[in-house]
């Protein structure tokens, strides 16, 4: 199939990772109902300059995401085969069926009828069944073996139409299904909702790639009488895939922290670096500053009481029973509040801190540069590890300065 013409992308081309998902080359043959049907293409390259034109001096756009870029390169993109206008009174007007120069207008006034569909029930003897429908076709030559049109399966008042695109697949390898999905990274036409689906096989659709749309007049102004889909508008991607039967099962992850009588509680680095503002006796608001954002969190109830206490005694740690006694809380209240504070990353829970003798620390050691004795104890015993690193710690920076001063930085 032919490639779509696209604007030059300012970002590097992302190459899919090797593996079964991308390794197979597949050529699909197709034919058009007539020569004026818009050609299908592989993928669709969005006009990003138009999509983000309201943002001045944009630094970068969605194309910096490899997954979004890769999405633009897959699927058979189908375009509207003619210009269709849907009116509030239910009538439909079709123009440009044989190209831009065709000035013939087809005006349809749909009526509710019935159609014949495959019977989905395996218990029924009949292979086909009657179903509410409205089937409309465009005039075709007398010797034509097929016709194009649009139809509704169901109640026509729902305005959910399936449009023949005029593109017919001739052969598709066995065991492939087709996923129908709207073209990615494209602004919608007001009043037009593109539906999605999965076709089990090419014979099921008789090779015809279709365009399912819903016309929703609630999306347009009351004084607008119609919705128009122009000829050549890229609408849907038909993506050929192999679909395994998938089952899912959840693996439970323990959410609550293991708290016992030997548990020590202390502020985490996030808790230490958060600024605290007391709203009243029961509520406090803390703010955490980051190079990319500011985060505000309100604490109330017993977690507020515990956090304020730890914040005021930020370089000490205490056992859970001692903490409950100092704050006049029950053990259950303390544990519940600590679970909340731990999930917020404000408090650290340490179990089994043994009274190990402190190792001898040289003045130039980076471990000896810890800010206070409580953190010294954690670093020395190796009981605590930073889990979120946004910049080198003060200790690491001090070590680099020491090595540079001693002329040893070239060993790094």
pLDDT digits (tens, 9 = 90+) for 375-396: 565 555 554 444 444 556 665 6
Reported as type and span, the H/E element at residue 139 is none
Distance CA 354, CA 377 (A): 11
Q: What is the CA radius of gyration of the chain?
A: 33
Distance CA 237, CA 184 (A): 8
Distance CA 168, CA 176 (A): 16
Average pLDDT, the chain: 77
Are 209 and 167 in contact by the 8 Å Cβ rule? The answer is: yes
* Tokens 């020491």, located at residue: 402
Longest dimension (CA), the chain: 99
State the burial class of residue 353 (Cβ atoms within 10 Å of its Cβ: 0-12, 13-18, 19+): middle
The DSSP string of 204-231 is HHTTEEEEEEEE-GGGS-TT--EEEE-T
392: its two tokens: 């080198």
Strands of the 105-108 sheet, one edge to the other: 105-108, 92-95, 83-87, 226-229
* Tokens 């509520």, located at residue: 283
Backbone CA torsion sign across 27, 28, 31, 36? negative
Helix (H) and strand (E) counts for the chain? 9, 22
Contacts of residue 358, Cβ cutoff 8 Å, sequence gap at least 6 = 376, 377, 380
CA nearest neighbour of 198 among 229, 248, 237? 237
Collect the ranges in the chain with pLDDT lower than 50.
Answer: 1-14, 16, 352-370, 383-389, 409-412
What pLDDT score was predicted for residue 279?
A: 67
Contacts of residue 129, Cβ cutoff 8 Å, sequence gap at least 6 = 116, 117, 118, 119
Distance CA 167, CA 206 (A): 11
* Tokens 């569909």, located at residue: 117
* Tokens 């749309």, located at residue: 213
Contacts of residue 178, Cβ cutoff 8 Å, sequence gap at least 6 = 172, 198, 199, 202, 205, 238, 239, 240, 241
The phi, psi pair for 106, rounded to 5°, reads -110, 120
* Tokens 């089937």, located at residue: 135
Distance CA 409, CA 402 (A): 9
3-state secondary structure of 272: helix
Distance CA 272, CA 286 (A): 11
């Amino acid at each position: 199939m032919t490639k779509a013409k696209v604007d030059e992308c300012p970002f590097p081309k992302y190459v899919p990772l090797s593996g079964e998902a991308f390794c197979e080359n597949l050529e699909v043959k197709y034919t058009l109902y007539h020569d004026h049907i818009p050609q299908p293409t592989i993928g669709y390259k969005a006009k990003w300059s138009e999509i983000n034109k309201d943002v001045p001096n944009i630094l970068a756009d969605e194309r910096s995401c490899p997954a979004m870029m890769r999405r633009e390169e897959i699927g058979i993109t189908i375009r509207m085969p003619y210009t269709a206008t849907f009116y509030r009174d239910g009538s439909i007007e079709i123009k440009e069926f044989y190209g831009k120069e065709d000035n013939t207008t087809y005006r349809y006034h749909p009526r509710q009828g019935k159609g014949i569909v495959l019977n989905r029930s395996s218990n029924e003897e009949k292979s086909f069944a009657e179903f509410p429908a409205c089937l409309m076709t465009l005039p075709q030559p007398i010797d034509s073996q097929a016709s194009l049109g649009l139809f509704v399966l169901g109640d026509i008042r729902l305005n959910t139409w399936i449009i023949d695109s005029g593109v017919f697949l001739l052969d598709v390898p066995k065991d492939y299904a087709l996923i129908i999905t709207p073209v990615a990274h494209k602004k919608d036409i007001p009043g037009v909702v593109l539906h999605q689906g999965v076709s089990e096989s090419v014979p099921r659709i008789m090779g015809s790639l279709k365009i399912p749309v819903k016309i929703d007049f609630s999306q347009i102004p009351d004084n607008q009488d119609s919705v128009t889909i122009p000829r050549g508008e890229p609408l849907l991607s038909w993506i050929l895939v192999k679909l395994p039967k998938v089952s899912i099962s959840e693996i439970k992850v323990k959410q609550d922290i293991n708290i016992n009588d030997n548990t020590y509680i202390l502020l985490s680095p996030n808790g230490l670096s958060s600024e605290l503002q007391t709203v009243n006796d029961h509520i406090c608001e803390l703010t955490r500053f980051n190079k990319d954002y500011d985060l505000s969190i309100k604490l109330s109830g017993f977690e507020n009481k515990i956090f304020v206490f730890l914040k005021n005694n930020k370089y000490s740690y205490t056992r859970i029973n001692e903490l409950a006694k100092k704050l006049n809380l029950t053990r259950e209240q303390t544990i519940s509040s600590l679970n909340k504070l731990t999930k917020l990353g404000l408090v650290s829970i340490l179990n089994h801190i043994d009274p190990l003798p402190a190792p001898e620390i040289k003045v130039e050691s980076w471990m000896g540069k810890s800010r206070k004795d409580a953190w010294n104890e954690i670093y020395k015993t190796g009981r605590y590890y930073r889990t979120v690193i946004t910049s080198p710690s003060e200790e690491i920076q001090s070590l680099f300065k020491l090595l540079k001063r001693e002329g040893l930085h070239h060993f790094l």
